[in-house]
Amino acid sequence: MPEKTKTKYGAEQIKVLEGLEGVRKRPSMYIGDTSKGGLHHLFFEVVDNSIDECLAGYCTIIEIIINKDGSGGVRDNGRGIPVDKHPVYKKSAMELALTKLHAGGKFEKTAYEISGGLHGVGVSVVNALSKKMIARVRKDGKIYQQEYKIGKPVYSVKVVGTCKKEEHGTEIIFWPDADIFSTLEFDFNVLRKRFQEIAFLNPNVRIILKDEKQGKKEILHYAGGLMEFVKHINKAKQALHKPIYFRKEMNGCTAEVAIQYTDGYNENIFGFVNTINTTEGGTHISGFKTALTRALNDYAKRKGVLKSGSLSGDDVREGLTAIINLKLRNPQFEGQTKTKLGNSEVKGYVDSMVSTALGEFLEENPGIANKIAQKASAASKARDAAKKARDLVRRKNITGFSGLPGKLADCSSKKVERTELYIVEGDSAAGSSKMARNKEFQAILPLKGKILNVEKAAPVKTLSSDEIINLITAVGTGVKEDFNLKKLRYSKIIIMTDADVDGQHIMTLLLTFFFRYIPELIENGNIYVAVSPLYRVRKGKDYYVYSDAELKRVLNRLGGKADVQRFKGLGEMNPIQLWDTTMNPKTRILKKVNIEDAVLAEETFSMLMGDVVGPRRKFIEANANIAEVDV
């Protein structure tokens, strides 16, 4: 448990900067979007305040509830928002904190030395975007309450009951506004994922997650903290050793680090600052990488594992899963979404702390140290072989007339911002799509059969595969350390496969390739999946249907006898049908691929596509009842 802050937390600690004007006009500036993601972000903002109480050493239990009436509730046993009157504004501090945009205890470091919700816009934004919100505080034997309507108080803070003298904490209940959000349905699994992450990072907190509508309840509590977290991420992989864990402090910056290597080829480094997931990295990640490379090079050279040369950063990170959890007094994030840490001094702090701690560990644990050094040395040799494979690709391109794959039917336009590459499987689908396309801006790249599962294959094998070489060459950016976004040849790379089980498998293999070798294109929003119809229903005119459930609705609506054609593959569609349903920008449906949760994405690809069978079997058994069997 963090040491408790030995200072008063009262109204004088609440600083006010401005009101709530503009939040409802531009909600996406504060919560990302007004669809499912933004809706759940409301919960995250409220819980962040409870976590700040945890970081200050006061909160040990957080209860999170999806209520039957669709509202969300969060209750903690922290100190409770101050309810006394502010000395300057002459209003209850609770009213100020929940109705003013930049008002809160995080601007006065006497109340919170460390916090995640540093910008102070959290619950006030939730208030502004809720048709109704109720705040209750238990402290000093009394229950205080205030109700709000679209961010405005309905009445002043008042005492509504009594509680035990030792009871304390804050409860927030909010009803999201249907005028703001396109959906009001909270997803238990989305909440569970984020709050499980928080529970791993805060081993002293017990999070109770309930869904009263579905009768679900789960208690999230991990006494092992980061070591349990790293094992959880690697549960579908073969670990080389038990997790390495250390905690260091320097100049008010505390770094907790957990490290575990697997026999795989991919690196996964996840950074957190005051429990905020810094998905875009930052100075703490840079410092960690520098220290890791130096420490392993020093060890490998000293012990004779490395005879000559040096291990690169890529070499020492192959097969690595690492979590860096930083606690920092004055974090500087890039924007309200807090996805990248910018504090320049942190790089040096983390570098120094990790270098010292990791160096000590390697010396004291020669068995584990030798396994890691041997893994990095083998990675270095394999990387040299992979480099030769990439060089071979370049030489093949130079000797060719255009440097492009022979099977690529390219488009005529050279304006990357409007060009599209369709990746299709098989000659039949390629033939239809070539005839259906608009040759000016749509290119077609056919692949032969299922591409290599890159999750299981070594990089040198992956980069020697003809189909993958063709794909990399057509895209143009290169992969891994050779990646260059400026060389991207198409603004949209569209995976277009059959709407059957084989097609879904091919799509998954392609997504695995992009996630593991060119994730920058996913992050940049260039990867799409085309949605092709399952059926054509003809009654007077053609109706294209995309699921069995939709087919039932269409048949019921049309009535009488229906002429129904089941499309087993893209090759069965004539060019006009393929253009109308799947390739015409005015009528097609495209799914944009993005990475909402890097930790979950990593776990999912490892589980579905990796070597370890157990987790995959459990997943199949758990989801068998909702799977559609293609006969």
Catalytic residues: 425, 498, 500, 502
Question: Dihedral angle at the C-alpha atoms of 359, 360, 363, 364, nearest 10 degrees?
Answer: -150
Q: Give the three-class secondary structure for 179.
A: coil
Q: Are 174 and 130 in contact (CB under 8 A)?
A: yes
DSSP state of 183: -
d(CA 426, CA 506): 11
Tokens of 278: 């810094």
How would you list the strands of the sheet with 535-539, edge to edge?
A: 541-545, 535-539, 563-566
Q: What is the 3-state secondary structure (H, E, C) of 228-267?
A: HHHHHHCCCCCECCCCEEEEEEECCEEEEEEEEEECCCCC
C-alpha dihedral, 433 to 436 to 439 to 441, nearest 10°: -80
Integer Cα distance of 506 and 450 in angstroms: 6
Q: Whose CA is closest to 463, among 383, 375, 381?
A: 383
Q: How far apart are CA 287 and CA 281, in angstroms?
A: 11
Q: Alpha helices of 455-589 — where are they, by DSSP H? A: 459-462, 466-475, 501-517, 519-523, 548-558, 575-578
Q: Are 238 and 335 in contact (CB under 8 A)?
A: no
* Closest among 198, 186, 147, 163 to 77, alpha carbons compared: 163
Give 138's strand partners: 143, 169
Residues ≥6 apart with Cβ < 8 Å to 378:
none
Helix (H, G, I), strand (E, B) or coil at 203: coil
**Which burial class, exposed, middle or buried, applies to 409 when counting CB atoms under 10 A from its CB (0-12, 13-18, 19+)?**
middle
Taking alpha carbons only, the member of 120, 63, 67, 129 closest to residue 97 is: 120
How many alpha carbons lie under 13 Å from residue 86 in its C-beta half-sphere?
19
Sign of CA dihedral 574, 578, 579, 581: positive
Which residue do the tokens 């250390």 mark?
246
490 and 518 in contact (C-beta within 8 Å)?
A: no
Q: What are phi and psi of 175, to 5 degrees?
A: -115, 105
Cα 120 to Cα 111: distance, rounded to the nearest angstrom:
13
Could you give the angle at the alpha carbon of 628 between the alpha carbons of 626 and 629, nearest 5°? Answer: 130
